[in-house]
Chains A and B, each alone.
Chain A
């Protein structure tokens, strides 16, 4: 299973919206509604931000939203804040074979 493709970096100014893409294949992202997103900040454990494409866990800001079209999933951060600066990873769960594949990771910089 190859890693999902994400842009290496995305940046935006405070208050702006940014979108991170996560591209896979019909065997992973495109074949299931099981895409999740994780925020990773230095010294902290990865944090679940979105699960099952577009669901937000309790406690996650509604500035974070997820979607999917075909083989590409997306994470949008609206009203960008300094605290959003982090690495973000997508993941796809392949339920037919019980496997998980992660994305290559995207560094978000708040200008």
Chain B
């Protein structure tokens, strides 16, 4: 069974850097074709894709947030880390991690973690 769980601070101050961790089980990011993405959802708003990291360490980012995001993986710990710099109140959102695809096709997200709410406020 594949599961993912996000963790990180519930509250960050404006201008700070956010670091989120996605701990997963049921697959390995060292296996060819495996990918993990981060997605966020501001309260009452739509989902927004942020980044994806692949088994071969290729990384892809949202065009609008590219300069602020870094995604990395620790294969030995089955974790993916997302950092976002220069946090602003508009970045207040629930942040999800999800497996992208099934190892052959990367066009969907399944399963998702439960999400972690991050509030940006001074």
- A interface residues (Cβ-Cβ under 8 A, vs B): 1, 3, 32, 34, 36, 38, 45-48, 51-52, 57, 89, 91, 93, 95, 98-105
Contact A91 B46 (CB under 8 A): no
Residues of B contacting A51 with CB < 8 Å? 105, 107-108, 110
- Complex formed: what's the CA distance from A89 to B109 in Å? 12
B1 at the binding interface (Cβ < 8 Å):
no
User: How distant is B63 from chain A, measured CB to nearest CB, in Å?
Assistant: 7
Which of under 10, 10 to 19, 20 to 34, or 35 or more describes the interface residues of B? 20 to 34
Contact B111 A45 (CB under 8 A): yes
Residue of B48, B62, B105, B109 touching A38 (CB-CB under 8 A): B109
Residue of A32, A36, A48, A102 touching B46 (CB-CB under 8 A): A102
User: How distant is B30 from chain A, measured CB to nearest CB, in Å?
Assistant: 20
- Complex formed: what's the CA distance from A25 to B107 in Å? 17
B27 at the binding interface (Cβ < 8 Å):
no
User: How distant is A29 from chain B, measured CB to nearest CB, in Å?
Assistant: 12
- Complex formed: what's the CA distance from A1 to B115 in Å? 24
Contact A52 B107 (CB under 8 A): yes
Contact B110 A99 (CB under 8 A): no
Scan residues 30-53 of chain B and give those whose CB is less than 8 A from a CB of chain A: 37, 39, 46-49, 52
Residue of B63, B105, B108, B109 touching A1 (CB-CB under 8 A): B63
Contact B62 A48 (CB under 8 A): no
CB contact under 8 A between A102 and B48, given known A34-B107, A45-B114:
yes
Contact A48 B108 (CB under 8 A): yes
Q: A46-B112, A100-B37, A102-B49 are in contact. List 10 more A-B contacts (CB 8 A).
A: A34-B107, A45-B111, A45-B114, A46-B109, A52-B108, A91-B49, A91-B109, A98-B60, A99-B63, A102-B47
Contact B47 A93 (CB under 8 A): no
- Complex formed: what's the CA distance from A95 to B62 in Å? 13
- Complex formed: what's the CA distance from A103 to B48 in Å? 9
- Complex formed: what's the CA distance from A51 to B112 in Å? 14
Residues of A contacting B115 with CB < 8 Å? 45
Contact A52 B46 (CB under 8 A): no
